[in-house]
Amino acid sequence: MAEITAALVKELRERTGEGMMDCKKALTKAGGDIEKAIDDMRASGAIKAAKKAGNVAAEGAISLKEDGKSAVLLEVNSQTDFLALQDDFKAFVASSVEKAFADKLTDVAPLIAAQEADRLVLVGKVGENVNIRRLARVEGDVVGGYLHGNKIGVVVALKGGSVELAKDIAMHVAATNPEFLLPSEVSAEAVEREKGVFLTLNADKIAGKPENIVENMVKGRISKFLAEASLVEQAFVKNPEIKVGELAKKAGAEIVSFTYFKVGDGIEKPVDNFAEEVAAQLAAAKQ
């Protein structure tokens, strides 16, 4: 029997979302085998769907369905990354993106409603909260997408060019996550914010310099910022000698749009203090 260490209990707790004492009991019963403990907890119904319904689901997967003229990006969340790798979860994600694509959905609400029965069955089976969070449908002359594992998904729409080019640019977007497509789309507020950050960080270098010199320094930084923030001005990751906009132009294409999804973006994840939880449960046990 493997030693039931605090680290092992913590790992099981993180993977299942269950309480520390429940995890310790499960590990003890399973002889320290964490995989068996998870299977036993699920089989015995120790992880209840109702209990999980309000829990934060910030892990999960991004899925992509495309046909060269249209594409759907879908994010489905789970509580743990462990579940996102399991076949039951993958099957639910696959059926959800297939339906969204087949029905040409542009809003997530109808998909949530249509998949709710299957979602509840899945939650009851795996013992974690699962949510369909968002989708994006993209249509155009040429549409191509890229998935980076199951965590990042990108769809790029082009006017002209090829699906392969769109996929290459989508891969670039996944790597760099630009804020804007064109420098002209960068808001005045964003430029002013970058200017303020630059002046603050370089206060010592700027002190005492003539106003025109400082102005040129700021212009240089803003120019660099616009290049870093806008897709068409970025150096292409596969060939840094050419900008993404130039890459598209040489192929007879124009980038119309890009859509970027990353699992859990914008979801506030709770931060648990394992030591505090142990102390609290030990104190409760003494009462």
What is the rounded CA–CA span in Å between residue 266 and residue 133? 11
Residues of the chain with pLDDT under 50: 49-54
Helix axis angle for 20-29 and 6-16, nearest 10°, is: 110
All residues at 6 or more sequence positions from 191 whose CB lies less than 8 Å from its CB, including other chains: 222, 225, 226
Task: Report, at the CATH architecture level, how domain 6-47 is classified.
Answer: Orthogonal Bundle (1.10)
Q: What is the pLDDT of residues 220-264, one digit of tens each?
A: 889 888 888 899 999 999 999 999 999 999 999 999 999 999 999
140 contacts 159 by C-beta, under 8 angstroms: yes
Q: What is the pLDDT of residues 102-136, one digit of tens each?
A: 999 999 999 999 999 999 999 988 888 999 999 99
> pTM for this one?
0.71
Query: How many C-beta neighbours within 10 Å does residue 203 have?
Result: 9
Helical segments of the chain, H only: 6-16, 20-29, 34-43, 49-52, 81-84, 87-102, 108-126, 163-176, 188-201, 203-206, 211-229, 244-250, 274-286
Structural domain spans, the chain? 6-47
All residues at 6 or more sequence positions from 88 whose CB lies less than 8 Å from its CB, including other chains: 122, 125, 126
Tell me how far apart the terminal alpha carbons of the chain are, to the nearest angstrom.
Answer: 31
